[in-house]
Amino acid sequence: FRPALCVLLTLASPAPAMAQTDLSGWWARQSQNDNGYANEPVDLIGIPVSADGRAKALSYNIASLSATERQCQMYTPFYLFVGPFSLQITSELDPITQKLVAWKIAGWIDRDVTTIWMDGRPRPSEVAPHTHGGFTSGQWEGDTLTAVATHFKLGDMKRHRAFSSDR
């Protein structure tokens, strides 16, 4: 598994590539992969996993969610693409220049806010603390927003079946 999550959001827009595309608003998917059936066979949705990762997915027990140490466990940024909720995206602008600083994808009760930094800020050091939301930087490549997320904590990538590492 690659150390960074690479996500491509392709937007069809009649605007020129250099124009700022406004992603603000509520976005709903047509369908979602996490239909809540905890007893369904392991479905890793094409995620390449090691033998250890597959064994962990196959041995998952839904009852483990009731363990004290799992009561406040949050999902990683991966989950926003397969989870059951729509996405609320807002822009964060520089108060002086009004230029875009970041896109914020709102969190849920069990997933932290995902901030896609668009201002070119440097990635944290390799030893910087990992958070539930991670660190995501983005840039436009034509009409495609490419976002790379790192520095997020270990957690579920697909509910009850595929798990990411913090490495």
pLDDT tens-digit map of 60-91? 777 777 778 777 777 777 666 667 778 889 99
pTM of the model: 0.68
pLDDT tens-digit map of 84-128? 778 889 999 999 999 999 999 887 777 788 899 999 999 999 899
CB atoms within 10 A of CB 2: 7
Q: Tell the residue number behind the tokens 């709903």, with chain if given.
A: 28
Spatial separation of the C-alpha atoms in residues 70 and 84, rounded to whole Å: 20
> Strands 144-150 and 135-141, how do they pair?
antiparallel
